[in-house]
């Protein structure tokens, strides 16, 4: 997104400029000036935009005329020509080398100068030929480490799905809970914040015998390799290739370490500034009555929990999902943080498949399973005929299915069950129409409209989705951007324009909680919320056990600031039936 940049974004770019200059062999004074300026900006007590508007940047120590001009350009336009040219002037392979563990700008420069290394591939070849070991300042050991680093980078350094990370983190956390030396423990980092993809798993524990906890941890099943093991810290690679860091602290430090390592970095920066504004210092060791950086226990403000830390900084408790510096501070100050949805609030789901299209289970199996889960309803929305590869239904088969669901529901009622299957369709949004005529759609309880074959043009996709929203029989748009995390980018679409159309027509938007999708993304829900557009948390289940996606979806809805009243499947069956009738009655 272009446009005005805040100080964290500007600081990040200055930091990168420093690194790139070092990589290109600039003199150290110049490169350090950028790193220093970045740090100064992060610590600023007022918005950068104000400083720029009042032309006061130059008054800050360490910011000369050249930096002032660059920062102003970034704040005003969101871009910096100098930075873009600098990046373009360096071979891309050289920049990629920065990602290899153990390699900084200085070493990369030496490798380039003496061995012509300007890519990961060339580095690997030079290591294998034994040339790196011969270089001054490198040696055999460094060469071996670099080869390992390259290997690890290839296999492990990628991002991982939230769901894959939870599956391996939860047993480890359970094990820690049972460890007699552990007092408290928790996940931290992006996993605790419920980011849709995570870099690594962070765990935190408190103990009087940290070394024993570390020894206990590295002996757990599911650990492929121990990368680092110290007195209070360990890093391991788990099956599946995910790195996991455990830190062990004293129980007094636990809440502070938990808040710090949960992050995000952006959230932490504001927390630290709030402390400074109150004459305090906040870091991973504590909140201290001090104007300087310290970890002196005598100065620590006593906090038993994260709630206490927020309280000391004049804030209500901020749930981890909201700690992204996306408005939680303003909302906290005005006491308007949302009462977030819980997954146990959900009464059913409105987008699911059966073996009539590409799902695995029969209608009867689905009804039994979902009733057992304690749900109240489950809509069957199989594909329409245009999705022939998914065995989509034509109108004839759809009407047979409506009949079959009616018979199943009659049997449920007959044995006194309140659970109901709902009839429906995930109807394809085609180029100039929907895959079913309105008279067919009118026979269904639930209609989800999804764009499965998008155009490459943003305007075209936006137009098709708006047309779908304008159809009186379409209750909701399914997986609005079509993205598959770590696999396929979203198709181009003007999301805000589609949200506006949904607001105007009373159409809901799905939060598809298949862990590859989480679509619509959590970042867009606050906008939808201000427009009054309701969310439907849908597992898009193709097998019964995928009902479990609802829990992930509720977490993602929390990350999108959603409350029960914004979530359609918080309604019970009669409330839902009423809500389903509302849009149709407007036309």
- In the complex, the residues that contact ligand DGT under the rule CB under 6 A are 189-190, 195, 198-200, 202, 260-261, 263-265, 268-269
Q: Please, what is the minimum distance in Å from the beta carbon of residue 539 to Ca ion?
A: 26
Q: Residue 188: name the closest of 244, 108, 120, 106 by CA.
A: 244
Q: Please, what is the minimum distance in Å from the beta carbon of residue 358 to Ca ion?
A: 35
> Cα–Cα–Cα angle for 137, 105, 7, nearest 5°?
150
Q: Please, what is the minimum distance in Å from the beta carbon of residue 253 to Ca ion?
A: 18
Select from ligand DGT, Ca ion, Zn ion, none the partner in contact with residue 268, using the beta carbon and a kind-dependent cut-off of 5 to 8 Å.
Answer: ligand DGT
**Which residue, 33 or 541, is less far from Zn ion as judged by CB?**
541
**Which residue, 329 or 508, is less far from Zn ion as judged by CB?**
508
Site residues (CB under 5 A) for Ca ion, limited to 160-219: 189-190, 200, 202
Select from ligand DGT, Ca ion, Zn ion, none the partner in contact with residue 450, using the beta carbon and a kind-dependent cut-off of 5 to 8 Å.
Answer: Zn ion
Q: Pick the binder of Ca ion from 245, 328, 382, 519 (CB under 5 A).
A: 245
Pattern 401-440, binding to Zn ion, x per CB under 5 A? ----------------------------------------
Q: Residue 525: name the closest of 567, 483, 486 by CA.
A: 567
- Asked whether 497 and 509 are in contact (CB, 8 A), the reply is no
Select from Ca ion, Zn ion, ligand DGT, none the partner in contact with residue 367, using the beta carbon and a kind-dependent cut-off of 5 to 8 Å.
Answer: none
Select from ligand DGT, Ca ion, Zn ion, none the partner in contact with residue 269, using the beta carbon and a kind-dependent cut-off of 5 to 8 Å.
Answer: ligand DGT
Backbone angles phi, psi at 436, to 5 degrees: -125, 150
Select from Zn ion, Ca ion, ligand DGT, none the partner in contact with residue 138, using the beta carbon and a kind-dependent cut-off of 5 to 8 Å.
Answer: none
**Sequence-separated (6 or more) residues with CB below 8 Å from residue 381:** 350, 351, 352, 353, 424, 425, 426, 446, 447, 448
**Sequence-separated (6 or more) residues with CB below 8 Å from residue 551:** 343
**Which residue, 190 or 384, is less far from ligand DGT as judged by CB?**
190
> Cα–Cα–Cα angle for 347, 351, 355, nearest 5°?
115
Measured from each CB, the residue nearest to Zn ion is 450
What span, in angstroms and rounded, lies between the C-alpha atoms of 257 and 192? 13
Contact between 570 and Ca ion per CB under 5 A: no
**Sequence-separated (6 or more) residues with CB below 8 Å from residue 469:** 449, 477, 498, 501, 502, 504, 505, 507
C-alpha separations of 300 from 18, 43, 118, 306, 308 in Å? 35, 21, 49, 14, 13
**Which residue, 245 or 321, is less far from Ca ion as judged by CB?**
245
What span, in angstroms and rounded, lies between the C-alpha atoms of 483 and 587? 32
Select from Zn ion, ligand DGT, Ca ion, none the partner in contact with residue 206, using the beta carbon and a kind-dependent cut-off of 5 to 8 Å.
Answer: none
Measured from each CB, the residue nearest to ligand DGT is 263
**Which residue, 250 or 455, is less far from Zn ion as judged by CB?**
455
**Which residue, 263 or 539, is less far from ligand DGT as judged by CB?**
263
**Which residue, 48 or 477, is less far from ligand DGT as judged by CB?**
48
Cis check for the bond before 264: say yes or no (omega within 30 of 0). yes
- State the number of binding residues for Zn ion (CB under 5 A): 1
- State the number of binding residues for Ca ion (CB under 5 A): 5
- Helix 210-218 to helix 162-178 angle (10° resolution) is 130
Backbone angles phi, psi at 264, to 5 degrees: -70, 175
Select from Ca ion, ligand DGT, Zn ion, none the partner in contact with residue 361, using the beta carbon and a kind-dependent cut-off of 5 to 8 Å.
Answer: none
- Asked whether 166 and 521 are in contact (CB, 8 A), the reply is no
Q: Please, what is the minimum distance in Å from the beta carbon of residue 272 to ligand DGT?
A: 7
Q: Please, what is the minimum distance in Å from the beta carbon of residue 254 to ligand DGT?
A: 15
Q: Please, what is the minimum distance in Å from the beta carbon of residue 161 to ligand DGT?
A: 12
What span, in angstroms and rounded, lies between the C-alpha atoms of 350 and 332? 33
C-alpha separations of 452 from 7, 50, 364, 491 in Å? 39, 45, 28, 10
Q: Pick the binder of Zn ion from 190, 262, 423, 450 (CB under 5 A).
A: 450
Select from ligand DGT, Ca ion, Zn ion, none the partner in contact with residue 241, using the beta carbon and a kind-dependent cut-off of 5 to 8 Å.
Answer: none
Q: Please, what is the minimum distance in Å from the beta carbon of residue 165 to ligand DGT?
A: 9
Point out which residues bind Zn ion (CB under 5 A): 450
């Amino acid at each position: 997104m272009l446009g005005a940049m805040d100080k964290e974004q500007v600081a990040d770019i200055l930091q990168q400029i420093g690194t790139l200059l070092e990589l290109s062999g600039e003199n150290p004074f110049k490169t350090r000036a950028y790193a220093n300026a970045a740090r100064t900006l992060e610590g600023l007590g007022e918005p950068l935009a104000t400083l720029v508007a009042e032309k006061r940047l130059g008054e800050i120590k360490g910011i000369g005329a050249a930096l002032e001009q660059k920062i102003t350009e970034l704040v005003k336009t969101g871009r910096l020509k100098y930075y873009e040219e600098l990046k373009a002037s360096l071979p891309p392979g050289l920049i990629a080398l920065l990602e290899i563990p153990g390699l900084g700008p200085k070493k990369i420069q030496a490798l380039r100068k003496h061995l012509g290394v300007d890519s990961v591939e060339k580095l690997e070849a030079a290591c294998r030929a034994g040339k790196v070991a011969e270089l001054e300042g490198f040696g055999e050991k460094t060469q071996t480490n670099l080869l390992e680093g390259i290997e690890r980078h290839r296999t492990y350094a990628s991002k991982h799905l939230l769901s894959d990370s939870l599956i391996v983190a939860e047993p480890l956390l359970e094990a820690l809970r049972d460890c007699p030396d552990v007092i408290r423990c928790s996940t931290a980092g992006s996993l605790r914040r419920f980011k849709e993809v995570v870099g690594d798993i962070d765990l935190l524990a408190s103990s009087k015998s940290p070394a024993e906890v570390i020894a206990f941890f590295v002996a757990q099943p599911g650990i492929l390799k121990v990368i680092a093991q110290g007195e209070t810290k360990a890093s391991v690679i788990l099956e599946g290739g995910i790195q996991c860091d455990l830190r062990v602290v004293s129980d007094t430090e636990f809440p502070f370490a938990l808040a710090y390592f949960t992050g995000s970095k952006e959230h932490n920066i504001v927390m630290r500034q709030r402390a400074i504004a109150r004459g305090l210092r906040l870091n991973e060791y504590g909140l201290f009555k001090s104007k300087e950086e310290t970890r002196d226990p005598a100065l620590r403000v006593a906090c038993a929990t994260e709630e206490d830390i927020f309280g000391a900084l004049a804030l209500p408790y901020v749930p981890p999902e909201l700690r992204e510096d996306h408005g939680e501070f303003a909302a906290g100050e005005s006491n308007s943080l949302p009462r977030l949805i819980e997954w146990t609030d959900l009464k059913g789901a409105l987008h699911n498949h059966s073996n009539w299209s590409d799902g695995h289970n029969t209608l009867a199996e689905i009804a039994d399973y979902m009733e057992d889960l304690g749900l109240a309803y489950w809509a069957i929305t199989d594909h329409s005929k245009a999705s022939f590869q998914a065995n989509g239904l034509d109108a004839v088969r759809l009407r047979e299915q409506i009949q079959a669901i009616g018979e199943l529901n009659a049997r449920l009622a007959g044995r006194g069950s309140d659970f109901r299957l709902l009839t429906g369709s995930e109807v394809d949004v085609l180029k100039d129409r929907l895959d079913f005529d309105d008279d067919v759609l009118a026979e269904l309880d639930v209609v989800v409209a999804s764009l499965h074959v998008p155009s490459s043009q943003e305007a075209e996709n936006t137009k098709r989705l708006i047309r779908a929203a304008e159809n009186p029989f379409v209750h909701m748009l399914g997986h609005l951007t079509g993205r598959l995390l770590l696999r396929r980018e979203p198709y181009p679409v003007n999301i805000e324009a589609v949200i506006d159309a949904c607001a105007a027509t009373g159409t809901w938007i799905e939060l598809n909680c298949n862990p590859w999708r989480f679509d619509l993304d959590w970042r867009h829900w606050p906008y939808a919320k201000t427009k009054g557009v309701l969310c439907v948390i849908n597992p898009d289940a193709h097998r019964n056990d995928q009902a479990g996606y609802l829990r992930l979806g509720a977490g993602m809805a929390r990350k999108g600031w959603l409350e029960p009243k914004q979530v359609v499947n918080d309604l019970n069956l009669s409330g839902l039936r009423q809500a389903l009738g509302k849009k149709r009655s407007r036309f």
